Amino acid sequence: MAIFVDADACPVKDEVLRVAERHGWQVHMVSNSWMRLPEHPLIARVVVADGPDVADDWIAARAGTADVVITSDIPLAHRCIKAGARVIRSDGRVLDGNSIGMQLAMRDLMKDLREAGTMQTFNASFSRAHRSQFLQALESAIQAIKRSAT
């Protein structure tokens, strides 16, 4: 039972650690470069080689049915869901087998529209409500994994 964090642009690293401490779960903070993280026995800092999808490959190769993955990367989320992991975006949205197909389709559509120059996208600001939704979703995922393990 572990939490894997796609850490390069993750705004909820502190929240992940707080929840992990409460449950005694290992956290793997995976990034392409060194980043400042608290020194804590539950945190494993994983710095992978620079390159496209290297961090994603590391996470996808290890995440399984008793794990939680924190990412906003839709292809990574899809791979982890197929492996049985629970996936949560940093804004608290849960991605699962029922929602990932639509997320993949929307991602591809938005990419095509941006490439055609017909649309620009902007990242919404990250709010306190997102942080709260994330904490609730992470707690719920961990509780569900614990229930299924007994």
What is the pLDDT at residue 119?
A: 63
Weakest-pLDDT range from 12-21, 83-92, 141-150: 141-150
Strand partners, 5: 29, 70
Structural domain span for residue 72:
2-149
Q: Of residues 76 and 113, which shows the higher confidence score?
A: 76
Q: Of residues 54 and 110, which shows the higher confidence score?
A: 54
Quickly state the pLDDT bin for 149 (edges 50, 70, 90).
confident
8 A C-beta contact, residue 49 and residue 56: no
Residue 131 has pLDDT above 70, yes or no: yes
Number of domains in the chain: 1
Mean pLDDT value of segment 72-98: 92
Rounded to two decimals, the pTM is 0.84
Q: Find all residues with CB under 8 Å of 146, minimum gap 6, and list them.
A: 1, 23
Which CATH number is 72's domain given?
3.40.50
